[in-house]
């Protein structure tokens, strides 16, 4: 397994904070309050992307982290738009380093698979950046398992490797359990899953009649539209109430307890909203509780049609 540390050797934290809302739904003051709350909770791992909030996310994170940069693991992503060709990767990296105020990116992701660009071109560019010290770890986001393995094979031929992946994973989105997480465990790749709260569905607010991204964003409404997902969220809220925990705390802890997960990515719009997710880092999650939570949702189908062997 890849062991990631900050430049000064500080270990990576069990939770990662996703800075997608910095400079967007979270203004600078709210963003700073969330950053400070993360640091107080021991978070050393921060995730952003070139595309987030037109660069404000990276700029604010760089500003907040400036005094302690070497004790943090900072990840960003390239090539969400414009493809994963050499020119776009290099231009994106230059922008990100300038915004973040750092010469070195700890974890540098390809944001998504690019079927139009030869994989060799993308990986060769990342390998060059790794060799020159511009990036410390090569990573990929939103790749299928076969795409990760294909990228890993190309990387191996160039003397580098994929060290981290970023898939979607939460209590109602469990496809990663079928091939992505077993593949990562087999290949020794770290995993930082995003959306542990399912776009807010698993925070309990919808079960309580609230509104949010699922009611305002058509993509999230479709992604989390099936009735069974909402029933699972209601069941999670009931169980959380029974145990005296916030639903978000249980949802994040459930993801974090998977043995192949390195650090779930938590996020929020303000510090009060973030607090229950940060609390997951200290919530005991034994096998019995995780199984009870898992029973609220549907197991994904196995990767084989030979069901008698599954």
Q: Which of 15, 20, 24, 22 is CA-nearest to residue 265?
A: 15
**Are residues 72 and 44 in contact, defined by beta-carbon separation less than 8 angstroms?**
yes
Which residue do the tokens 């900050």 mark? 6
Both tokens of 303, joined, read: 């990767």
Bridge partners of 110, per DSSP, are 78, 140
Active site residue: 35, 52, 169, 194, which one? Answer: 52
For residue 52, indicate whether it is catalytic.
yes
Asked if 60 and 28 count as a contact pair (C-beta separation under 8 A), the reply is yes
Contacts of 97 (CB under 8 A, 6+ apart): 103, 104, 105, 134
Helical axes 271-278 vs 28-40, angle rounded to 10°? 20
* Backbone φ and ψ of 26, nearest 5°: -110, 115
Q: Which residues contact 12 (CB under 8 A, 6 or more apart)?
A: 4, 5, 6, 44, 45, 73, 262, 263
Q: Three-state SS for 28?
A: helix
What tokens were used for 309? 């062997």
Residues forming the active site: 52
């Amino acid at each position: 397994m890849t062991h990631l540390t900050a430049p000064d050797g500080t270990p990576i934290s069990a939770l990662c904070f996703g800075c997608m809302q910095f400079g967007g739904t979270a203004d600078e003051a709210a963003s700073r309050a969330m950053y400070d709350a993360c640091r107080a909770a021991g978070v050393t791992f921060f995730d952003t992307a070139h595309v987030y909030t037109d660069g404000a996310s990276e700029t604010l994170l760089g500003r907040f982290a400036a005094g302690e940069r070497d004790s943090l693991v900072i990840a960003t992503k390239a090539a969400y738009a414009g493809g994963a060709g050499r020119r776009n990767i290099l231009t994106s990296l230059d922008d990100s380093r300038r915004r973040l105020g750092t010469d070195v990116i700890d974890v540098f992701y390809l944001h998504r698979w690019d079927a139009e660009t030869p994989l060799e071109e993308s990986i060769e560019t990342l390998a060059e950046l790794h060799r020159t010290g511009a990036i410390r770890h090569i990573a990929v986001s939103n790749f299928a398992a076969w795409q990760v393995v294909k990228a890993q094979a190309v990387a191996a031929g160039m003397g580098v490797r994929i060290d981290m992946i970023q898939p979607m994973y939460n209590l109602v989105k469990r496809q990663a359990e079928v091939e992505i997480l077993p593949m990562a465990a087999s290949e020794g790749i770290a995993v930082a899953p995003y959306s542990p709260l399912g776009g807010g569905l698993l925070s309990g607010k919808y079960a309580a009649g609230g509104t949010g991204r699922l009611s305002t964003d058509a993509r999230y409404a479709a992604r989390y539209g099936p009735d069974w997902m909402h029933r699972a969220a209601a069941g999670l809220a009931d169980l959380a109430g029974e145990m005296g925990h916030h639903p978000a705390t249980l949802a994040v802890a459930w993801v974090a307890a998977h043995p192949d997960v390195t650090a779930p990515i938590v996020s929020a719009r303000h510090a009060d909203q973030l607090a229950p997710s940060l609390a997951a880092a200290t919530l005991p999650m034994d096998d019995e509780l995780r199984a009870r939570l898992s029973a609220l949702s549907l197991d994904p189908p196995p990767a084989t049609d030979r069901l008698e062997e599954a």
